[in-house]
Amino acid sequence: MEKYRYVIDTGVLIDFNHSNILEVLIRLKAAWMISDLSKEELIYPEINTLISPGLQIIELDRQDIKRIIMRGEKYPALTVSDRAHLVLSKRKSAVLITGDRHLRQAAENEGITVHGTLWLIDELVSRCLLTPKRAAEAMQEMINKGSYLPAAECQKRIKLWLGEK
């Protein structure tokens, strides 16, 4: 299986951790990356528990920092960490995984392929790395813990995965 490259927003990692399916990501044959600026956001799950299973922390160079600063004017709604993920995705030609609407719009504007939490869960189910029942439970746990997932889309998937009409 081809190994894909993803820059993953810390919010998605937190959602997956809250629903106890974070370890499933590692089974997806992919290179997972975050920027060194974003690692401070990961208090729980603790960053060191993610590095050994496969999360790479990519150090940003001077050019990256300049690009992050320049994008601050263009995308004022983005945090420095969000802009770092944008720049890193572009530099590494990686897919950006985020649940942040503003970051998604900026990525699309920059020509970066971007997907969200729901897409990622769908991928895990379609590749049989997560059962539909467990995916439904995980999604419900994410919602219960305050994730900002689109309610209608989540309910549609949960019903489908649980075999409800």
Give a yes or no: residue 128 inside a domain: no
Give a yes or no: residue 11 inside a domain: yes
For the chain, what's the residue count?
Answer: 165
Closest alpha carbon to 125 in 157, 153, 159, 152: 157
What is residue 83's three-state secondary structure? helix
Q: What is the DSSP letter of 141?
A: H
Give a yes or no: residue 162 inside a domain: no
Give a yes or no: residue 63 inside a domain: yes
Give a yes or no: residue 158 inside a domain: no
**Which residue range is the domain that position 82 belongs to?**
4-117
Radius of gyration of the chain (CA): 16
- pTM score > 0.85 for this model? yes
Give a yes or no: residue 141 inside a domain: no
Reading the chain (165 residues) residue by residue, the pLDDT tens digits are 346 899 998 888 888 888 888 888 877 878 888 888 876 666 555 555 554 456 788 999 999 999 999 999 999 999 999 999 999 999 999 999 999 999 999 999 999 999 999 999 999 999 999 999 999 999 999 999 988 899 899 999 999 999 886
Give a yes or no: residue 9 inside a domain: yes
What is residue 38's three-state secondary structure? coil
As for how many domains the chain has, the answer is 1
Element (H, E) at 151: helix 151-161
Give a yes or no: residue 125 inside a domain: no
Task: State how far the alpha carbon of 50 is from the alpha carbons of 81, 145, 148, in Å.
Answer: 18, 21, 23
CATH number of the CATH domain containing 71: 3.40.50.1010
